Amino acid sequence: MVTRMSTPIRCRARCVMLETGYKKYTQLDTPMLEQPISTNPLEHAASSYLRSARHQPVQWYPWGEEAFARAVAEDKPVLLDIGAVWCHWCHVMDRESYENPEIAAILNEHFIAVKVDRDERPDVDARYQAAVSAISGQGGWPLTAFLTPDGRPFFGGTYFPAEERYGRPGMKRVLLTMADSWRTRREEVLESAASVMAAVEQNENFSGRGTALSFDLTDKIVASILKQFDARHGGFGSQPKFPHPAALDLLLDVAVRTGSEQARDAALLTLRRMRAGGVYDQLAGGFHRYSVDERWVVPHFEKMLYDNSELLRCYIHAYQSFVEPEFAQTAQEIIAWLDCTMTDRAHGGFFSSQDADINLEDDGDYFTWTRDEARAVLTDREFSLAARYWDIGELGDMHHNPRKNVLHMRFSLEDAARESGVSPEDARKLLVAAQQKLLAARAQRPTPFIDRTLYTGWNAMAITAYLEAGRVLRVPAARDFALKSLDRLLAQAWDGGQELAHVIAYAESSSAPRIAGTLEDYAFTIHACIDAWLATGAMEYYRSACKLADAMIALFLDRTASVFLDLPVERAQSASIGALVARRRPLQDAPTPAGNPVAVAALLRLEPLSGRAEYREIAEDVLEAFAGIVEHFGLYVGTYALTLNRFLLDPLQVVVVGDEESASRLEALATARFAVNKTVIRLQARQLLAETLPEALAQTIPQVALPSSGAAWALVCRGRTCLPPIDNPDQLLDALEMNPEA
């Protein structure tokens, strides 16, 4: 079994190294691409991805009415390119095709070209992904779609090379064929567009009511996930392997609640193997997006905020439940990387992504090492140990350069120490020194581009993760930065009423058009506000959560179908461009937690605090709307299953009151063991007045007879029943054990 050294890395030195490399690269205005003098209509775009194409000879337009009005006026089809600044093959296609003057000339003559940043416009991306999947059977980025002038897709695919290769048609031939089809076979094109739109509508409107909600449904989803579990390498399925944080959290919840050894072993083995693999950055911390092999060794090297925030929570939950130091250390290292590389320390906020590469000839070279490169910066003793521990060999792991190694833990530290002829204690010291030296050397390399856009939903996810880390790992700095970031989100992205923006701030523009928030933006922000209230007891966070929940219901709840739409109902009913008319009901985690179960979970968290029965009634209706079909999605509905468990289990509230060390001990005991239905609330004695508590708590806590000792105490409530206040740690443990589902 691979184990991780217990000696923590000094994060301050690592942070300086990371920032140095980051500043060197972010002085470049546009990632990866040369910058000729001429510009196109993307010159004034705020998105990093769109700005990277503003010097291309293609006359790109951003998504909007102007582009499609021109397409109608000129009777031209639309070429739609959807990608992201972190997407390697998007940049490959940009250079091969869209920077090619001949191809650009064909495109400009026969098409109106529209470029979309999938991070900036997830609503556009989701619908055209569904359309291209219906056409070609596959999706992904770059997404290349051909649309009628009113935006209906009739042909598409993903990456098209400039010339025919990889078994794919060349871009020049594709463009000329589509242009000819529009001119000479218009009726066939329109018929194809109609059938694709029908498929998109059908795909995006699935729901199905089933029998009464029960644990049987959760059990079926868990069984489906476990069938895909790779008992040798961890994870689910074969290559490529994605982390699936919601499925891992579901297995952890089931393992703790039911004692299932199968669920426990699957979750813990996966977390250990991912941590040991090259999919984890062994030097700086943080996870890459996914692994191309089943062993977690060779990743796609981009790093996403949403992956790291959700995996941070998984490692915290595993540590809560099974108290393995390796999980706590991994969580601390993820925080250290986010702090140093992905956060606006001055103003608050989390950046969205770090690119995989620095140019198109590169494939993870920033993160990988030849044996000679490692030997050049390490002493003989350090190299002897590090080469064994991280498997740095003459023959590496990368196809484009077989000498390049992805650092991963092939052996335990104890085994590596024995092979190197050093004691375990000396091995720990040598490994820390080697890690710091390799990181310092890596910081001298050009650093992959970091998209400093602050997206509302992703920031809310990170805020929740940091608040959990602050509480469980006793990291006050994480808590403080989370609150600073939430304050910025609420001040800059929210109007205090119904309007929440999708973007808090762009890296290079303060005057970009406001993009309306999606269901996920609202739902994740509600969770962040609830978590901030739990961390501080400050009622403004609780009130914000309730206001946003009411706005979410008013804007996104389709009361006819009893489901949430990803876009406001009124917007979905009004005329929209192309595939935006499709009414999406997000159910599947792909890759972030899906909007419907996240929204339901937010309402279920607010109901026992507010006493508002409507929240639970809506939650039940939405869960029932999908109950007849959800079991068929298995691995991709972990968030739904977690939310169903939250609904079926009585809410367990543990209110800890006091401002001394004894209260902190009670809080630590209450926090132990992850459970989706458990809420731990820390209050000061001065906060026990009715006006400083949520409505339901105001009817309970002020009526409690305080312990005679006046010391810190805890109130344990399950459902609508509360035990007498407890001021003894052993009694608190007994009270929690009385609830086997906690």
Same domain, yes or no: 283 and 303:
yes
* pLDDT surpasses 90 at 570: no
Residue at 1 is within a domain: no
End-to-end CA distance of the chain: 30
Indicate the residue among 411, 444, 477 that finishes a domain.
444
Which pair of structure tokens corresponds to residue 508? Answer: 């290079």
**Alpha carbon separation from 598 to 474, 508, 526 (Å, rounded):** 26, 31, 10
Residue at 388 is within a domain: yes
Q: What is the model's pLDDT at position 710?
A: 67
* CATH number (domain holding residue 637): 1.50.10.10
Given pLDDT bands bounded at 50, 70 and 90, which one contains residue 140?
A: very high
Average pLDDT over residues 265-287: 98
What string of DSSP letters covers 628-665? TTGGGGGGGGHHHHHHHHHHHSPPEEEEEE-SSHHHHH
Same domain, yes or no: 575 and 440:
no
Q: What is the model's pLDDT at position 176?
A: 96
In this structure, what is the dihedral angle of CA atoms 139, 143, 149, 154, given to the nearest 10 degrees?
-30
User: DSSP letter at 241?
Assistant: B
Same domain, yes or no: 624 and 544:
yes
Q: What is the model's pLDDT at position 709?
A: 64
Q: Residue 52 in contact with residue 30, Cβ under 8 Å? A: yes
Residue-wise pLDDT tens digits, 617-659 = 999 999 999 999 999 999 999 999 999 999 999 999 999 998 7
Q: What is the model's pLDDT at position 699?
A: 87
Same domain, yes or no: 77 and 189:
yes
Q: Average model confidence (pLDDT) for the chain? A: 91
* pLDDT surpasses 50 at 20: no
Q: Which ranges constitute the DSSP H helices of 473-580?
A: 476-493, 519-536, 539-556, 569-573
Percent of the chain with pLDDT over 70: 93
* pLDDT surpasses 90 at 720: no
Give which of 391, 282, 287, 273 is closest to 338, Cα–Cα. Answer: 287
Q: How far apart are CA 161 and CA 132, in angstroms?
A: 17
Residue-wise pLDDT tens digits, 408-430 = 999 999 999 999 999 999 999 99
Q: Residue 502 in contact with residue 515, Cβ under 8 Å? A: yes
Q: What is the model's pLDDT at position 575?
A: 61
Average pLDDT over residues 403-408: 97
* CATH number (domain holding residue 58): 3.40.30.10
Percent of the chain with pLDDT over 90: 79
Residue-wise pLDDT tens digits, 281-295 = 999 999 999 999 999
Same domain, yes or no: 574 and 641:
yes
- For the ranges 135-149, 300-314, 704-718, the lowest mean pLDDT is seen at 704-718
Angle 24-492-289 from CA coordinates, rounded to 5°: 50
Residue at 285 is within a domain: yes
Indicate the residue among 144, 176, 204 that finishes a domain.
204
Same domain, yes or no: 416 and 528:
no
Same domain, yes or no: 127 and 18:
no
What string of DSSP letters covers 198-227? HHHHHHHT-----S---HHHHHHHHHHHHH
Given pLDDT bands bounded at 50, 70 and 90, which one contains residue 31?
A: very low
Indicate the residue among 648, 681, 708 that finishes a domain.
648
* pLDDT surpasses 90 at 719: no
Residue at 35 is within a domain: no
Average pLDDT over residues 510-534: 94
Same domain, yes or no: 590 and 466:
yes
Task: State which of 134-143, 161-170, 615-624 shows the largest mean pLDDT.
Answer: 615-624
Q: How far apart are CA 334 and CA 327, in angstroms?
A: 11
pTM of the model: 0.94
- Based on the structure, what is the number of domains in the chain? 4
Residue at 34 is within a domain: no
Same domain, yes or no: 494 and 619:
yes
Domain containing 608 equals: 215-356+451-648
Where b means 16+ CB within 10 Å and e means fewer, 161-190 reads: bbeeeeeeebbbebbeebbebbeeeeeebe
Same domain, yes or no: 106 and 172:
yes
Given pLDDT bands bounded at 50, 70 and 90, which one contains residue 399?
A: confident
Q: What is the model's pLDDT at position 75?
A: 97
Given pLDDT bands bounded at 50, 70 and 90, which one contains residue 528?
A: very high
* pLDDT surpasses 70 at 464: yes
Same domain, yes or no: 52 and 200:
yes
* pLDDT surpasses 50 at 11: no
Give which of 383, 287, 300, 298 is closest to 337, Cα–Cα. Answer: 287
Residue at 496 is within a domain: yes
| Residue 411: exposure state from Cβ atoms within 10 A (0-12, 13-18, ≥19) | middle
Q: Reading across the β-sheet that carries 353-354, which strands appear in turn? A: 303-304, 353-354, 450-451
Average pLDDT over residues 230-257: 96
* pLDDT surpasses 50 at 529: yes
Same domain, yes or no: 70 and 133:
yes
Q: How far apart are CA 721 and CA 702, in angstroms?
A: 15
Q: What is the model's pLDDT at position 660?
A: 79
